Structure 1
Amino acid sequence: MPDYSLTRDRVETYFDRTATQTWERLTSHEKVSRIRETVRKGRDQMRALMLSRLPQDLRGARVLDAGCGTGAMASELALRGAQVTAVDISPQLIDIAKRRLHPALTTQVDFHAGDMSDPALGRFDFTLAMDSLIYYRDADIGRVIDNVANRTAQSIVFTVAPRTPFLMAFFTLGKLFPRSDRSPTMIPHDAARLARHCPGALTKVGRITSGFYISECLEHRT
């Protein structure tokens, strides 16, 4: 998967070298700009929406937090009683997540720096992937979902950037800049088209729009 590998390496470089401090602040309780505050609010709403698809009591369940970032989702899952495998392509973000995790939850969360589709991560009851697939093309997302679905017993809840006029304009504008001079660009997706690349049933859960944060939640069941 050459396209997937190139994008994955680009995402790793962005979050591990360019945007680590920005991302750390955005996902904290520190004061940020109005624009980033809308993004923070949108991410909080999306996290809650995704978690609503899982049982409130997750004792005995194994959950993959695919693209865990600074660890907010992993913490919420652990508070529900889940055993969480939290993986992110960025070792820097993994370090932040480890520092932020409440000491009482450390036995419930196993952090890994690496690829979310690595079979060595094991098998799970549920998989959550919040905004970690937004930079990939539909065929690559389909392959990742297929890979993870083979090791997920119940459902995969993930997000994509929807095909809205605003995001399509943003995506088109991003193409005008040399690839080496810009951060990874979100690729907007149509859920119906994406479903053709994902084996099993793909359902729209909901869309969150908060200022510059626009994300659509989908649920995959085999």
Structure 2
Amino acid sequence: MEYQATRDRVETYFDRTATKTWERLTSDAPVSGIRATVRAGRDQMRDVLIGQLPDDLTGARILDAGCGTGALSFELAARGADMVGVDISPQLIDIALKRMPDATRGTMTFSVGDMFNPALGTFDHIVAMDSMIYYGADDIARILDGIAPRLNDNIVFTVAPRTPLLMAMWRVGKLFPRSDRSPTMIPHHPAKIATKTKGHLRELTRVNSGFYISQALEYRP
């Protein structure tokens, strides 16, 4: 129930409140100084996650879980991957479809839905950049272990690290009226998530770029 409630809040936020913001943030359009640090951080984190996958992805089936406007999917498709991009926001999927490069149209699909729906099938790799940052450790562990039987290699994903700055932002965010809140990121100690999973969790690079702070992790069954 907690997973479903969080997913519904995230869907409402991205589909009704923040669509234009994310469309601009994930483009080349000018943005404010604060958002520029977020854009730079996300670009850096995308490179970190891609770096955990083989250079040659020809024939590999990869899930971009919470694909948003598709930037990560486009890069992996260009390296030969058979991409499946899924997001709960129809608005963001529409943007991804419009931005899809002609050269990759035969190697990727985008759809609206739960990013870990079993009907999506089996994957060689899964990438989930900033799409699990709103969930608690128990939910994250259930997600990882639940998809393990359909995973041939690894999941690379991000969480919000439990730093003093993020904890302060988390506490301040809880003071806003509920109607004004974006979905609240839940800061984590990766070691705590590791104790709740049946697989193997490894800490990767942490990215600090102004208002973007994110920890990359790798999970293997």
1:100 partner letter: R
1:28 CA drift (Å):
0.2
Q: Residues of 2 paired with 1:153 and 1:49: CA distance?
A: 20
In structure 1, the partner of 2:106 is: 107
1:178 CA drift (Å):
3.5
Contact 1:74–1:84 under 8 Å retained in 2: yes
In structure 1, the partner of 2:38 is: 39
Q: CA RMSD in A?
A: 0.8
In structure 1, the partner of 2:142 is: 143
Q: Residues of 2 paired with 1:54 and 1:19: CA distance?
A: 30
In structure 2, the partner of 1:155 is: 154
- The list of structure 1 runs, each at least 4 consecutive aligned residues, that deviate by more than 4 angstroms after superposition, is none
Q: Residues of 1 paired with 2:131 and 2:48: CA distance?
A: 16
Q: Residues of 2 paired with 1:94 and 1:188: CA distance?
A: 27
Q: Residues of 2 paired with 1:196 and 1:94: CA distance?
A: 34
Contact 1:149–1:156 under 8 Å retained in 2: no
Q: Residues of 1 paired with 2:199 and 2:63: CA distance?
A: 19
Contact 1:156–1:219 under 8 Å retained in 2: yes
Q: Residues of 2 paired with 1:34 and 1:201: CA distance?
A: 38
Higher mean alpha-carbon deviation, 141-150 vs 12-21, is at 141-150
Count of equivalent residues: 221
Please state whether the residue corresponding to 2:63 is helix, strand or coil. strand
In structure 2, the partner of 1:134 is: 133
Does 2:61 align with 1:94?
no
Contact 1:60–1:83 under 8 Å retained in 2: yes
1:67 CA drift (Å):
0.5
Does 2:124 align with 1:125?
yes
TM-score by length of structure 2 reads 0.98
2:137 partner letter: D
Deviations 1:65-96 (A, max 9, x none): 00000000000110110000100010100010
In structure 1, the partner of 2:75 is: 76
Give 5+ residue unaligned stretches, structure 1: none
1:46 partner letter: M
Contact 1:162–1:214 under 8 Å retained in 2: yes
Please state whether the residue corresponding to 2:106 is helix, strand or coil. helix
Match runs of 1:11-22 below 5 Å: 11-22=10-21
Q: Percent identity over the alignment? A: 62
Please state whether the residue corresponding to 1:134 is helix, strand or coil. coil
Deviations 1:99-149 (A, max 9, x none): 101011111111110101100111000000000000111111111111222
1:173 CA drift (Å):
1.5
Contact 1:202–1:218 under 8 Å retained in 2: yes
1:189 partner letter: H
In structure 2, the partner of 1:50 is: 49
Please state whether the residue corresponding to 2:145 is helix, strand or coil. helix
1:199 CA drift (Å):
1.6
